Amino acid sequence: MPYELDPRYDADLGVSICQELGVDLKRKISGRVMTSHGDHGHKTACLSINLDSNYARCFSCGFSRSLTGWYWDEFGRSAYADFDRGSLDGGANPFRSREPEPPNFDDPPEVGFAFDGTVAPAKSHPLSRAYLKSRGIPDAVADEARMQFCIKGFTYLRNDPQKKIYFTERLIVPIYEKSKLISIEGRDVKGEAAWSRQLREAGKNPNDYEYKKVLFPRGSSVDTLWRLERLNRNETLYVTEGILDAASLMTCEGTKNATAIFHAIPTERQLYLLKSFSDVVFVPDLDTAGFNTLRALKRGGPVGTRILFIPDGVKDASDVQQGKAARFKSISELVNMGWLEKAEPLSRLDVDEIERVLLLAPIDVS
């Protein structure tokens, strides 16, 4: 069905911008529009557009931008000028700046989700305990990360409690900022084959459903750094894409000051938060998404950011901790080989050339 304009927004600049950008505004949830982000090539409603503040955020890839800024990026012109929106103060300048006032990145993101269910410490349940053991994550790290096992439960939007996302039999990792729960990562511990088998046993066709290895609640936010309040700003900060990669680094004393950005592309706010640390080392996944992360960091990351590639042809820190490399079987063994001294300034790297080479050949740390 076509998008029916809410009377409150019939003069909203954001709607005009979305129409020019080709953003589908069919699905509307409370004060926001949930729609698909065309960059992914699929139709999942992962892009949240707030038509009150004219701001867009993708929960899948981490894209975060004001609509006016997004318009400028696409067309190189001011949306205020193109849509004849004059200045609000009636000043001499006929158009406002192409960017609105920046949001206050010091405050934790607002969220509208709630969780209901039965959980137990991850180390106490057979399914999650076996899963963490297979990933090389000891009990001490699971406790420090506050990992739990959701025996049965779901999340829902507070203003729409009937629409639930079930987190049953998943390892869940709470994501806090300033003691406020802003999201939950729910990770499948049984695998896609078991998921497909359960659906077939229930008389359902797995092809009609989307398997999600990792779940985040609707109405939550991952626009932060994992364990932000527990990180030491005066020590080297090791940054990974995913939580289990960061947890793998936490198994070694030399890399315990570790965090994750939850997805491949850091948001504007995450880049802001990273700039408050004295020394940032990013440990990228050795895949296309990981190199896109490097490009984003090169455009807007902290000055002096260094890059530390995973050696021996393995993809990420979690693979190392699982013993998938030939010459070392843990992060501690890798660090003892002098890995940390291999960090290189991002500013000196030709990301395109390194991607071409590293995706074809393993890295030597000897």
- 259 — phi, psi (to 5°)? -145, 175
- DSSP character for 3? P
Query: Is 330 in contact with 323 (CB distance < 8 Å)?
Result: yes
pLDDT digits (tens, 9 = 90+) for 311-341: 888 899 999 999 999 999 999 999 999 999 9
CA-atom Rg of the chain in angstroms: 22
239 strand-pairing partners? 259, 282
Query: Is 96 in contact with 299 (CB distance < 8 Å)?
Result: no
How far is the CA of 54 from the CAs of 68, 74, 101, 308, 340, in angstroms? 8, 16, 11, 37, 42
Q: Average the pLDDT over 192-219 and give the result.
A: 90
Neighbours of 70 (CB within 10 A): 21
Q: Residue for token digits 């996944």?
A: 285
pLDDT given for residue 3 in this prediction: 36
pLDDT given for residue 273 in this prediction: 94
* Parallel, antiparallel or unpaired: strands 148-157 and 160-166: antiparallel
Q: Residue for token digits 């038509």?
A: 51
Distance of CA 289 to the CA centre of its chain: 12
pLDDT digits (tens, 9 = 90+) for 140-161: 999 999 999 999 999 999 888 8
Q: At residue 32, does pLDDT exceed 80?
A: no
Q: Average the pLDDT over 209-226 and give the result.
A: 90
Torsion sign (Cα): 188, 191, 193, 198: negative
pLDDT digits (tens, 9 = 90+) for 244-288: 999 999 999 999 999 999 988 888 899 999 999 999 999 999 888
Nearest to 67 by CA among 90, 45, 99, 40: 99
Query: Is 296 in contact with 307 (CB distance < 8 Å)?
Result: no
Question: Which CATH code fits 113-215?
Answer: 3.90.980
Q: At residue 92, does pLDDT exceed 50?
A: no
- CATH of region 228-358, choose from 3.50.50.60, 3.40.1360.10, 3.40.50.1220, 3.40.1010.10: 3.40.1360.10
Q: Does domain 7-82 have CATH number 3.90.580.10?
A: yes
Q: At residue 21, does pLDDT exceed 60?
A: yes
Query: Is 339 in contact with 365 (CB distance < 8 Å)?
Result: yes
Query: Is 54 in contact with 100 (CB distance < 8 Å)?
Result: yes
Query: Is 59 in contact with 48 (CB distance < 8 Å)?
Result: yes
Q: Residue for token digits 């936490």?
A: 250
Quote the tokens at residue 316: 């990420």
Q: Is 85 helix (H, G, I), strand (E, B) or coil?
A: coil
pTM over 0.85: no
How far is the CA of 43 from the CAs of 47, 250, 264, 266, 356, in angstroms? 10, 36, 19, 22, 30
Domain ranges of the chain: 7-82, 113-215, 228-358
Quote the tokens at residue 3: 């998008």
Q: Residue for token digits 């503040």?
A: 53
For residues 68 and 76, give the distance between their C-alpha atoms in angstroms, rounded to a whole number. Answer: 11
